[in-house]
């Protein structure tokens, strides 16, 4: 019988045993899934394991000092549901950070199960009241279970800090001695120096931080670096990723970025100022793709340090050792010996000076000096090597006295003298005497003459070791030069006429840019000779920009460094060349406002790197633009 449309007919169960068996299997499978899920949940609750630890970097401190407290929970089989906050009465919370370095899940979709997770709470606490404080135990709940940490006992010595003003002061980040900033609700710049009253030549570590509550979407730059007049500086960042941290200021949570970190050595005593830096960046929500980012600029505040003179005159600030060697101890008279003195230690090694005294019978040439500056753990040090060529003029044994250096340790405020070992050189052979012209036959009586001071001493050219006969001169008409001139003069006239005709043609934009680049490099070389670092780096930056515009055929002056880097990559330039060009532009921006860029060797290296980069840029192949 045909079925009526839209009507489902009942089917006799006895006539469909296969369908009945299928329904039974479905019910059994569903029941098994429910039982398995329940068993998995009970198994997970029963197998959840956790290790909760509470540690402090110090357990004894004075009022006003800081302690770092870390609470960590490593959980297996679940994730943390609740983490107790420690009771830190007697301390001021200067920083609080939360991180989850590890969280590993297994499964798909909503059926994912936590296999391993870690949660770390880090606190920077400043002691305010003396006493003995027990912190912990902390409770952590995960997977339906509760776990506890250990206890940490911290002892605070000294007297309680009191203030005549009952109004609490704004929270100031703890750490450096010199700290300059003005809090802002959105973002502000902070400049710090770790020593407020350094000695001349002592390292002062300077850092510039950006505090922001807005999300940075790009374009983070330092249009104006802090001025460091009166300092010799060394960059301590060495590139790398710009990692942010979190910190509370006046109860508000900020994201903190360290954008400048350098070691500065005062060159003179008195009041020195670290100028106010300026920071710019693009801020906005990363989820709102239709809202363009907002450019934000913030200017810091200058900070001052008072530089003290070194108590011991002519002492080098730092901790150093000296060792001296000779490449050989026995030589022939007139042969050169290399004498090497190496100074190693912490401090500005460029301040080290060593002198070799005059030794009768030894000719000593001016030394060669090599420097190797290092900054492990942000402390600048390294090595300075002196090499002298020493030539014995007569036979005998010569004693080279020890090298000595007076040093001043600013941390301990102590002075000491370090010395190398004494050296000995033995020379054999005839004594070297200056060559004099033959005086003729010997006289029976010596003749004493008084030289005329107005008559110059005779000079002699180099001795000839070979002789040859002079041949008759060839007539000029038989030389190739004669015929070359005779035939080449008309050709030269034709070339001059062609050049004159081409000179009237207007050069294209690329040619004009290349000429401008060459002129800028000539100006930079002149500024380098004059020691004008600011105009030198300005000419280098403009020259690089003109060369890029001539090669790319489009303007680049309005682009940021990140935008320029992307453009050069799109045009197919080598990644290493792109990096060096951008680095050179950033060096120019930084060195124009830094005393470190004024060193003659830094200027020479910058000019040489720029010439190499321009040569590679001119010969590099480019990809066509999108418009072409």
Residue 449 has what pLDDT? 46
The answer as to CATH 1.20.120.330 being correct for domain 509-619 is yes
Pick the CATH number of 178-307 from 2.60.40, 3.30.300, 3.20.20, 1.10.238: 2.60.40
Angle between helices 533-552 and 561-570 (to 10 degrees): 30
Residue 339 has what pLDDT? 94
Residue 165 has what pLDDT? 40
* String of DSSP letters for 288-355: -TTSPPEEEEEE---EEEEEBPPSSTTPEESEEEEEEEES-SEEETT--EEEEEEEEEES-GGG----
Domain 318-428 class, CATH top level = mainly beta
- Residue intervals of the chain classified under CATH 2.60.40.740 are 49-157, 318-428
φ, ψ at 184 (rounded to 5°): -135, 145
Fold of domain 49-157: Immunoglobulin-like (2.60.40)
d(Cα 89, Cα 188) in Å, to the nearest integer?
A: 30
Which residues make beta-bridge pairs with 272?
305
Residue 461 has what pLDDT? 42
Using only the alpha carbons of the chain, give its radius of gyration: 39
- Residue intervals of the chain classified under CATH 1.20.120.330 are 509-619
Task: Please list the rounded mean pLDDT of every run of 10 residues in the chain (628 residues).
Answer: 38 40 52 48 60 90 88 84 84 75 54 68 86 90 87 86 40 62 89 92 93 84 89 82 76 87 93 93 67 85 93 91 94 93 93 90 91 88 93 92 93 92 91 57 46 48 43 63 78 83 64 81 86 83 86 81 85 86 81 62 85 86 68
Give the list of residues 6+ apart from residue 606 with CB closer than 8 angstroms, or none.
536, 537, 540, 584, 587, 588, 591, 597
**CA distances for 335 relative to 324, 326, 363, 387, angstroms:** 20, 13, 11, 16
pTM above 0.85, yes or no: no
Pairing of β 216-224 and β 278-283:
antiparallel
């Amino acid at each position: 019988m045909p079925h009526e449309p839209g009507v489902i007919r009942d089917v006799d169960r006895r006539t469909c045993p296969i369908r009945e068996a299928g329904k039974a299997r479905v019910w059994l499978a569903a029941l098994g899934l429910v039982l398995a899920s329940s068993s998995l949940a009970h198994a997970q609750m029963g197998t959840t394991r956790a290790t909760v630890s509470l540690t402090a970097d110090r357990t004894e401190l004075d009022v006003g000092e800081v302690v770092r407290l870390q609470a960590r929970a490593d959980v297996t089989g679940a994730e943390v549901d609740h983490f107790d906050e420690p009771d830190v009465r007697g301390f001021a919370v200067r920083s609080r950070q939360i991180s989850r370095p590890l969280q590993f899940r297994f499964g798909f979709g909503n059926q994912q199960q936590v296999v391993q997770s870690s949660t770390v709470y880090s606190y920077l606490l400043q002691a305010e009241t003396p006493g003995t404080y027990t912190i912990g135990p902390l409770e952590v709940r995960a997977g339906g279970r509760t776990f506890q940490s250990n206890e940490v006992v911290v002892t605070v010595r000294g007297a309680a800090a009191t203030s005549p003003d009952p109004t609490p002061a704004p929270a100031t980040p703890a750490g450096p001695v010199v700290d300059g900033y003005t809090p802002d609700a959105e973002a502000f710049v902070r400049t710090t120096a770790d020593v407020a009253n350094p000695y001349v030549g002592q390292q002062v570590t300077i850092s510039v931080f950006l505090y922001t509550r807005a999300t940075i979407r790009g374009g983070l730059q330092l249009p104006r670096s802090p001025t460091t007049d009166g300092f010799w500086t060394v960059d301590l960042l060495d590139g790398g990723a710009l990692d942010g941290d979190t910190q509370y200021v006046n109860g508000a949570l900020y994201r903190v970025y360290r954008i400048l970190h350098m070691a500065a050595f005062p060159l003179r005593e008195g009041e020195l100022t670290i100028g106010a830096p300026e920071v710019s960046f693009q801020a906005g929500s990363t989820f709102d793709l239709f809202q363009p980012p907002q450019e934000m600029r913030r200017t810091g505040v200058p900070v001052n340090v008072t530089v003290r003179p070194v108590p011991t005159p002519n002492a080098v600030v730092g901790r150093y050792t000296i060792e001296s060697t000779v490449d050989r101890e026995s030589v022939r008279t007139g042969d050169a010996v290399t004498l090497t003195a190496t100074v190693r230690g912490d401090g500005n090694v460029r301040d080290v000076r060593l002198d070799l005294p005059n030794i009768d019978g030894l000719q000593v040439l001016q030394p060669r000096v090599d420097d190797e500056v290092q900054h492990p753990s942000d402390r600048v040090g390294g090595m300075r090597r002196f090499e002298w060529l020493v030539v014995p003029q007569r036979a005998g044994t010569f004693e080279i006295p020890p090298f000595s250096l007076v040093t001043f340790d600013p941390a301990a405020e102590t002075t000491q003298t370090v010395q190398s070992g004494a050296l000995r050189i033995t020379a054999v052979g005839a004594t070297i005497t200056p060559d004099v012209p033959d005086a003729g036959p010997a006289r029976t009586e010596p003749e004493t003459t008084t030289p005329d001071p107005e008559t110059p001493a005779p000079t002699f050219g180099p001795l000839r070791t070979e002789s040859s006969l002079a041949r008759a001169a060839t007539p000029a008409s038989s030389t190739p030069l004669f015929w070359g001139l005779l035939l080449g003069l008309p050709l030269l006239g034709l070339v001059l006429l062609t050049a004159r005709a081409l000179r009237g043609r207007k050069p294209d934009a690329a040619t004009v840019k290349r000429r401008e680049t060459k002129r800028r490099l000539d100006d930079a070389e002149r500024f380098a000779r004059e020691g004008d670092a600011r105009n030198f780096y300005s000419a280098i930056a403009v020259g690089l920009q003109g060369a890029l515009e001539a090669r790319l055929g489009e303007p680049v002056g309005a682009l940021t460094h990140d935008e320029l880097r992307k453009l050069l990559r799109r045009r197919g330039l080598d990644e290493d060349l792109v990096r060096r060009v951008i680095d050179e532009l950033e060096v120019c921006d930084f060195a124009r406002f830094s005393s470190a860029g004024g060193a003659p060797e830094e200027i020479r290296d910058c000019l040489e790197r720029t010439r190499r980069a321009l040569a590679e840029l001119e010969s590099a192949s480019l990809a066509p633009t999108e418009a072409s």
